[in-house]
Structure 1
Amino acid sequence: MELSGQFPVQLLCERIGIPRSSFYHWKKSVEHPSKQKKRLVQSILLFQEYHIRFPSHGYRWLNAKIRLDKGIIFSDPYAHKCCKMAGIKSVSKHYKYKKPGDPFRIYPNLLLAGIDIQGPMECIVSDMTFFYVKGTYYELTLYMYLWNDELIAHALSSRRGDRMTYLAGLQDVLAFKKQYPEYKLILHSDQGSVYASKSYNELLPMYNITRSMSRAGTPTDNAAMESINGWIKAELFTDFHITSSENVPEQVSDYIRFFNEERPAYTLGYLTPKQYRERFSPKQEYAAQTTAGDV
């Protein structure tokens, strides 16, 4: 375009091997874009805006988040086109798990039995993950409904090996389960020392809770929880930009609320856990659990 003001258009077109009419057609499309192209540019800018806020996610999740926040509906192929043109890619890295380990277990693995989860009061999975903020070590223990991936309890500690993060989260689960004694609940975890301890398990039968455990050294037996752990650490630092050691518990609590109420989930058809619960919860006495406090 700039050279056309310095050299004859005919000469420039001959040098690059295109008809002169093609140049003028392109020039007109640039100077007077169609409504379709304008919408495409606006869509690309919107995806870029959301990618800046949530760089750990790809085009499907960004599309779902835009639909949730703004009510704008794009097809997945169109969202992919916009992101490809803008060079948008997820920056998160996920890791493959090892092969299944020793089948020995303290409690039977009920998830391997293929239980049919129909509602939120049927199975809770738990695990601990850790991360560093400015050199400070943190352990985060989570309790999640397997039915809709809702995080119903969490506890955070900056002490390595702090068993109270497990027990504090469990107490929140028991307090909630106490309201619904008639429902049977499965609690699944790995074979960590706290999960297997007497103090952790001795109260569970009183609350109509059945224990289930993964095989030793087999994270894939608790794949949903392991996947959530990976996403949480990616999003905490990539999207929520936790870089200061101040108010880490508050920032984690804010993220848990975001996870439950504002984060579309692929496994839920890009509904949030809260939306899924409100839309598909069985007709039973069930109230949303408020997020547990930090330790």
Structure 2
Amino acid sequence: MYSFKTEEFEIIELLSRDYDIKTLCQLMGVSRSGYYKWKNRDKSGRDINREAMIALVSEIHEAHPSHGYRWVAAFLRLNYGRSCSDSYIYKVFRCLGIQSQTKHKPHYKPRKVRDLYPNLIFTTWETVDRPRQVIVSDMTVLKPWIFYFELTLYFDVFTKQILSWKLSNRRGGREQYLDGLSDVIELLNGSREPTIIHTDQGSVYSSKAYNELIKDSNIIRSMSRAGKPTDNPVNEALNGWIKEELYMDFRLEECRTEDDVREVLHRYVNFYNKQRPCFALDYDTPDHYCERFNRGELEHRDTFSQRVLSEKPKFMQKKRTTKKK
């Protein structure tokens, strides 16, 4: 039960029909004698008006149960000349424990957990400690001039390199996903270290044909949770920057043929990997950063194997850590 006036005695009054007065007084931290003294006092005009309003709202709701508190407030103003706000009638509704009724009952179905592969990353992206350890993939749409294209990219999380890109002019095509994965498998050929490929739960990424390609490779699949694009922040962020640069710096919008679009993408990927300074790499380029790691110029850490998986976002984890301190 909810009271729109929060004094202890009024709450006890509201709950006294269902609970013992002694228990309520103990819970509210007041004496029984004080409660009865308050109850037996002469009622003020404000108390009488409030009780009359509660009774009137209850009567209107009983006659028109299909309407909510806003309609009841308007009904009171128009037909009874009562000066009352919507928020006041809302509180009366809460106090009475009533709400609008409908014959259309909502049906809530619990989410069926059908994650084909577990999420092996969550918020531990910064723990990735070597090239080709985690590769992410996603599709983004390009619409230069009158064209429609779907661009599928494969990124190395550690070096931020674009390992493969495939373009399709057909909505819902699957070839670019499979061809891109084939490129990645060929790139990883001979590697002894396992590689995680992380994607969303798109139909192609979940398909049997896609995952059949990796059955004989040293690739482990990982998937974001359904409806959680934040589970793949690397790809989401890079897709946004790449599209911005393609349109603003490489004039993708000026392309008038599909060959022009492919030529722009080819130039951009070459620029991205070899010339574009990357903030996440301390303004190094992806290819050069990878070369520095392979030459032993960068510190080799062992952080990924020690990662602690958690579904909770980072800001919640930090808040909990701060409270403990």
Q: What TM-score do you get using the length of structure 1 for normalisation?
A: 0.59
Give 2:189's aligned residue. Answer: 178
Give 1:254's aligned residue. Answer: 267
CA shift in 2, pair 1:240/1:253, >3 Å:
same
2:231 counterpart of 1:218: no
CA shift in 2, pair 1:122/1:282, >3 Å:
farther
Select 1:265's aligned residue among 278, 285, 288. 278
2:247 counterpart of 1:237: yes
Task: After TM superposition, give the deviation of residue 244 of structure 1 in Å.
Answer: 1.5
2:118 counterpart of 1:105: no
Identity %: 45
Give 1:132's aligned residue. Answer: 143
Amino acid in the other structure paired with 2:202: G
1:65-102 per-residue CA deviation (whole Å, 9 max, x = no partner) reads xxxxxxxxxxxxxxxxxxxxxxxxxxxxxxxxxxxx99
Return the alpha-carbon distance in structure 1 between the equivalents of residues 295 and 234 of structure 2: 21
Give 1:155's aligned residue. Answer: 166
Task: Verify the 8 A CA contact 2:152 2:167 in the aligned structure 1.
Answer: yes
Task: Verify the 8 A CA contact 1:102 1:215 in the aligned structure 2.
Answer: no
Amino acid in the other structure paired with 1:262: Q
Deviates more, 1:256-265 or 1:111-120: 111-120
Task: Structure 2 unaligned segments of length 5 or more: list them.
Answer: 1-110, 297-325
Return the alpha-carbon distance in structure 2 between the equivalents of residues 143 and 250 of structure 1: 19
Q: CA RMSD in A?
A: 1.8
Give 1:279's aligned residue. Answer: 292
Task: After TM superposition, give the deviation of residue 103 of structure 1 in Å.
Answer: 7.1
SS at match of 2:131: coil
Return the alpha-carbon distance in structure 2 between the equivalents of residues 282 and 217 of structure 1: 40
Larger Rg: 2
Count of matched residue positions in the alignment of Structure 1 and Structure 2: 182
Task: Verify the 8 A CA contact 1:123 1:147 in the aligned structure 2.
Answer: yes
1:177-200 per-residue CA deviation (whole Å, 9 max, x = no partner) reads 1232x1201000000000000000
Query: What is the correspondence of 1:176-215 to structure 2 with a 5 Å cutoff?
Result: 176-180=187-191, 182-215=192-225
SS at match of 1:133: coil
Task: Verify the 8 A CA contact 1:122 1:184 in the aligned structure 2.
Answer: yes
Q: What TM-score do you get using the length of structure 2 for normalisation?
A: 0.53
Task: Structure 1 unaligned segments of length 5 or more: list them.
Answer: 1-100, 284-295
Amino acid in the other structure paired with 2:232: N
2:130 counterpart of 1:119: yes
Q: Which has the higher contact order (CA 8 A, sep 6+)?
A: 1
